Amino acid sequence: MATTSLQELYVEQLQDLYSAEQQIIKALPKMIDAAHSDELRNALTGHLEITKTQAGRLEQICEELGEYPKNEKCKGMEGVLQEGSELVKEVSNEEVRDAAIIAAAQRVEHYEMAGYGTARTYATLLGFDDAAESLEQTLEEEKEADETLSSLAEQINVEALEEGESSRPAGSQSGRGKSSKSEKSGGKVRRIA
Ligand code: FE
Ligand code: ZN
Ligand code: FE
């Protein structure tokens, strides 16, 4: 459709986010099955429940606008999820696979954060204050999920690093020191209160 107003753009963003959430609801159980760490499985399971609530919020916002939520396919999220599942499948070691799951899941959260930030701002500009509040709530939940994954990565990435160490041929030199393991571990190194 030809989009001529910010409100139409807003509706498209909502539909795109709805499609993204639906795809995440399908993908998370596979990530949970593939995860080895209990903490990681619990975090993903918790976020699956939250994700269902988030999809419900989008349905409600669309309904109040008289719009059908299911008119867009989020090809971006499709790509993010497909890349993640391919990555996770190719890793056989449990610890390294958990690190890959975190890498994939954080891409999902950041992609969502971009969409919700935009949709929330449009809602505010268009005077849809309740919708803006509800989108802001989801945005905060996505940020929390990302932070939880970052804090899990602090341990899991280091375990993955040590696994790589033990499977490396004896005597091989990779030129890394213990002191720099945080920087090499990939995920953001950040303490969550
Ligand atoms: Fe979400
Ligand atoms: Zn999209
Ligand atoms: Fe999310």
Q: What is the CATH number of the domain that holds 41?
A: 1.20.1260.10
Q: How many domains does the chain have?
A: 1
pLDDT grade, residue 152 (50/70/90)?
very high
Who surrounds ion ligand 1 at CB < 5 A? 51, 54, 112
Q: What pLDDT was estimated at residue 187?
A: 46
For residue 163, what pLDDT is reported? 86
How far away, in angstroms, is 111 Cα from ligand 3 center? 9
DSSP assignment of the chain: ----SHHHHHHHHHHHHHHHHHHHHHHHHHHHHH---HHHHHHHHHHHHHHHHHHHHHHHHHHHTT--TTS---HHHHHHHHHHHHHHHT--SHHHHHHHHHHHHHHHHHHHHHHHHHHHHHHHHTT-HHHHHHHHHHHHHHHHHHHHHHHHHHHHHHHHHHHHHHHSPTT------GGGHHHHT-S------
Confirm whether 12 is domain-assigned.
yes
Q: How far apart are CA 16 and CA 75, in angstroms?
A: 9
Q: How confident is the model at residue 193 (pLDDT cuts 50, 70, 90)?
A: very low
Measured in Å, residue 8 CA sits from the centre of ligand 3 at 24
- Domain hosting residue 39, numbered range: 6-165+176-192
Q: How many Å lie between the centroid of ligand 1 and the Cα of residue 129?
A: 20
pTM: 0.85
**Ligand (nearest to CA of 115):** 2
Q: How far is the CA of 115 from the centre of ligand 1 (A)?
A: 10
| 170: in domain | no
pLDDT, residue 189, reads 47
Q: Is residue 171 part of a domain?
A: no
pLDDT at 182 over 90: no
Distance between Cα 14 and ligand 3 center (Å): 15
**pLDDT exceeds cutoff 60 at 173:** no
